[in-house]
Amino acid sequence: MVELIARLSEAYGPPGAERVVRSIVEEESRPYADEIRTDVLGNLLVRKGSPEGPRIMISAHIDEIGLVVTYVDEKGFLRFHPAGGISPHVLLGQRVRFESGLVGAIGCEPVDDIKNVKMEVLYIDIGSHNREEALAQVQPGDMCCWHRRLDQVGRRVIGKALDDRIGCAALLAALRRLDGKNIPNNVFFVFSVQEEVGLRGARTAAYGIKPALGLSVDVTGAGDTPAAKPLPMELGKGAAIKVKDSSLVCHPGVCRYLVELAKKHNIAYQMEVLPAGGTDAAAIQLSEAGVATGGLSIPTRYVHTPAEMADLDDVEAVVALLVELVSAPLDLSYINSL
């Protein structure tokens, strides 16, 4: 599992430029999928199970937060705009990588106070002597992302883009475990694009799939660090079953059904209530006339930094719960009655 997470985490894939990650996911999925296709927006749809069964959509996004070059100055320094939610204080002094493999460092103009570190005073230094030399390597519109490897510390991993490559790894692990099983449902594992800039891939995928039940697998915040805001989610306490975030209130029957499955199969779980942020679940829920939607999350520290930290036992709990969910016949009337 760690090797898979590392391969996904370290890959290049900011919003709208997910090709590299998508190719990795497709390669890992192909031996276990009944059908694979890529839609117009770039979502990878991996189908498994009975074509006649009720449709279940499980989404994890393959994009990561990134930067897009907006201007190259006369000395060859690159100005940029964020693609996704990034704090300028987190960017300062970091390294970034372009799809070509080119690496740059983020610097800052002199400021009187750290509070004045804004996006407009930051720049990317790729070591060029002038504008002409820089433009030979990078053009306005080119995107970059964090340049970091994944490290393991005990049962925990630290790296960039665990949001949401660790969710993608969970879907791939579940897909492997379903190999050879008689799955009564028509399951669509959706590896969605452009989540970080508006849940765009999941929105179009759900419209096309028309699922009876939807689920997002993503990271969530953790309230277990010093002086953290009070949150019920902690690393190592199991799969986080989403109740709400700032983008949706999950279908109560889906929440209760996931809790029921976790208890029945002795899978560690915790409840997720997130004051801010959202996932693909919000887009799935509002597709067409509405979809019964829930979420499974992996508690993660330091989200939207290059040092996101998650616990492998929580990933394992999410995988186990996914397998049990799709292996049982979907009875939506029962879920709605909970």
Enter the tokens of residue 218: 């993503």
Distance CA 257, CA 338 (A): 7
Distance CA 98, CA 115 (A): 28
- Contact in structure between 218 and 167 (CB atoms under 8 Å): yes
Radius of gyration of the chain (CA): 20
Distance CA 2, CA 61 (A): 18
User: Which residues are within 8 A (CB) of 303 and not within 5 positions of it... i.e. 6 or more apart?
Assistant: 163, 219, 221
Distance CA 175, CA 217 (A): 14
Enter the tokens of residue 336: 């709605």
CB-hemisphere CA count at 13 Å for 40? 5
> DSSP assignment, residue 112?
S
- Contact in structure between 194 and 13 (CB atoms under 8 Å): no
Pick from 323, 319, 321, 258: nearest CA to 5:
319
Indicate if the alpha-carbon torsion angle 195, 200, 201, 202 is positive or negative. positive
Which H or E element spans position 319? helix 312-327
User: Active-site residues: which are they?
Assistant: 195
Tell me, what amino acid is at 73? D
Residue 112 neighbours by CB distance under 10 Å? 6
Q: Is 164 helix (H, G, I), strand (E, B) or coil?
A: helix
Report CA 276 to chain centroid distance, whole Å: 16
